[in-house]
Structure 1
Amino acid sequence: MGNLFGGHKKSRVTEQDKAVLQLKQQRDKLKMYQRKIEASLAKERELAKKLLKEGKKEKAKLLLKKKRYQESLLTKTDNQLDNLEKMTSEIEFAQIEHQVIDGLKVGNDCLKKMHQMMSLEDVEKIMDETREGIEYQNEIDELLAGGLTEEDEEAVLAELSQITGESEITLPTVPKDQLPQIDDNEPQRETERRRKEPELVPAS
């Protein structure tokens, strides 16, 4: 199935990776050895106490000498662990530095290719063309802003007045005469007058 997609991938494990792995393995072995010694020291101390209680002073003394020697070994393993940790850190940091240098190299190559695609002369040409375009546009703006003669200005104002007059709507004139006043009692008077008039009887 792997061959179907282009075969097996090559391993990217470097010599530095192998070295770091070996150092970490040695570190783990030393730590296991330390734990073993610490457990042994605790047992031998208890055993020495027991031998003293039984009156076996020489055996207890020999056991404490052995314990003392193992303690010196424990100190040596601590120093070795420190050396292993430092060496591991230095190798890992060197790997990081190498990756940074590789990244800088790739970036530098990319910049060189971009500079080859556009030379300094091309940039200067583009800047000159841009400057000319801005100057040309400024000239057009100046012509539009103040390039008309007095006659042209009058013609523009006349046309503006004509357009304004066409858009106005003529409204009817509002009368200025005052409206006649209406007497509020007039309807009542008219009703009384009609009552007083004789009712006309149609002729038979």
Structure 2
Amino acid sequence: MAEKRTAAFTGAYLGTFSASSSYCELRRIFSRGAPSSSARKALLLLKKRRYQDQLLDKTDNQISNLERMVQDLEFAQIEKKVIDGLRVGNECLKKMHEVMSIEEVERILDETQDAVEYQQQIDEMLSGSFSQEDEEAVLAELEAITQGDVQLPDVPSHRLPDAPEAAGDQAARDRPKKTAELLAA
């Protein structure tokens, strides 16, 4: 019976024990009453298991270090692309600055402002707009009329005669010529 137990013990250690077997299996084997030579084998197997566990831990650490290094490399590549993009952008800005100086931009803005002011003057001339004083005078006159302070003339009850067309047309044609002459002078 002792031989069976020894054979079972040795077979269990040599044939079935691997790095993946649990400590529970070792306890079960020792609970059978293993002989001293088997105890040495068991101790050797425990040491082997501990060594394999340490190797697995080291391997896990190395894998995580490699993964971290890969992430760092990927991030460095992204940083390089960003820096290259900034470099190209700066070169483009320098070329644009060579083409347009600050003085040139200020000159263009001044010319634009002058053109806008000139156009506003032309618009005022053409539309016959009033100055602020004229506008206030018109509003005061309207106020006086609505208050009833001003005596308005009576509206004629008879029909007004028609204006001669030939004379009116000629006067209308002469007005733009006189306005153009005044503006040119």
The normalised TM-score by structure 2 is 0.51
1:122 to 104, 114, 117: 104
Matches within 5 A, 1:162-173: none
Contact 1:41/1:70 (CA < 8 Å) preserved in 2? yes
Q: Distance in 1 between matches of 2:162 and 2:49?
A: 119
Question: Which blocks of at least 5 consecutive residues in structure 2 are unaligned?
Answer: 1-16, 131-160, 164-185
2:73 to 73, 79, 91: 91
Q: Distance in 2 between matches of 1:103 and 1:66?
A: 55
Cα drift, residue 57 of structure 1: 3.1
Residue 41 of structure 1 aligns to a residue whose secondary structure is coil
Residue 113 of structure 2 aligns to a residue whose secondary structure is helix
Cα drift, residue 43 of structure 1: 4.4
Q: Distance in 2 between matches of 1:162 and 1:89?
A: 95
Deviant stretches of 4+, over 3 Å: 43-54
Q: Distance in 2 between matches of 1:58 and 1:44?
A: 18
- One-letter code aligned to 2:105: V
1:103 aligns with 2:85: yes
The answer for the alignment partner of 1:15 in structure 2 is: none
Q: Aligned pair in 2 of structure 1 residues 147, 72: CA closer, same or farther (>3 Å)? A: closer
Q: Distance in 2 between matches of 1:78 and 1:50?
A: 30
- One-letter code aligned to 1:103: G
Deviations 1:164-204 (A, max 9, x none): xxxxxxxxxxxxxxxxxxxxxxxxxxxxxxxxxxxxxxxxx
- One-letter code aligned to 1:104: L
Q: Distance in 2 between matches of 1:80 and 1:147?
A: 85
Bigger Cα Rg: 1
- One-letter code aligned to 2:107: K
Question: Which blocks of at least 5 consecutive residues in structure 1 are unaligned?
Answer: 1-38, 149-160, 164-204
The answer for the alignment partner of 2:44 in structure 1 is: 62
Cα RMSD between the aligned structures?
Answer: 3.1
Q: Aligned pair in 2 of structure 1 residues 140, 110: CA closer, same or farther (>3 Å)? A: same
- One-letter code aligned to 2:86: L
1:142 aligns with 2:120: no
- One-letter code aligned to 2:98: Q
The answer for the alignment partner of 1:41 in structure 2 is: 19
Q: Aligned pair in 2 of structure 1 residues 111, 119: CA closer, same or farther (>3 Å)? A: same
Task: Return the structure number with greater relative CO, CA threshold 8 A, min gap 6.
Answer: 1
